[in-house]
Amino acid sequence: MISEHEEGESIMLKGNRIYVIVLTCFLLATSVVQAQEETGGFVGLTYGILSLEAYDDLDFELISESGDQLRLFGGYRVNDHFALEAGWSDTSGIDDSFSGFLPCCGDVTESFDVDIETLTLRAVGIIPFDRISLFGALGYYDASFSGRYSYTDNFESISFNVGDFYDDSGAVVAAGIEFDFENGLRLRGEAEWFDTPSDVDAYAINVGLLYYFGR
């Protein structure tokens, strides 16, 4: 369960790549002109996997788990190339446990179970083609944590609610692709990265459907 922070640089590189993709989408979106502008509201639902990794002050990995993420979102397409989007997501199933003997502490039992509720507001840049669109999003997230952490060894016992000690907010970036079924229904896939504190990495892969009310 505990290993050196070997993947930290890789995660940061992933985040930087997503930033580059998002900026590219916004820049290209401003230069692409199509005859018919697409405007109107939309709603959607995606299912994904959110990965959460946390490290201590010595860069040893404390948590490396994934959970199921259900996301509801809606927004307004301003034109062919820009949209505003708000979303709510619930992530569950981030849990783990450890039992064993450590020379320093004797018999050790550690467990945690974390749920995350996240609100997001994103500006979306879109590059439309025939039935496929590429998009990048940049915005803000606010995450609330709940669940329980417990630790017991031969000398002490600790247990607390995760939400009493931790919540988070900051920038979120995403990049993805949409396929248009030409009846208002679209298939979306995206990668999402959260600008968390330096000792935490959080990113998600989401797939789902959305429906456009306007054309």
**DSSP code for 196:** -
Query: CB count, 10 Å around CB of 89?
Result: 22
Q: Do the beta carbons of residue 112 and residue 149 sit within 8 Å?
A: yes
Name, of 99-103, 173-177, 201-205, the range with top average pLDDT: 173-177
**How far is it, in rounded angstroms, from Cα 134 to Cα 128?**
6
pLDDT number for residue 61: 62
Q: Average pLDDT for residues 177-206, to the nearest whole number?
A: 90
Q: What is the pLDDT of residue 115?
A: 87
For the chain, which domains are there?
8-212 (2.40.160.20)
Is 0.85 topped by the overall pTM? Answer: no
Q: What is the pLDDT of residues 31-77, one digit of tens each?
A: 444 445 788 999 999 999 999 887 766 565 667 788 999 999 999 99
Residue 202 confidence (pLDDT) above 80: yes
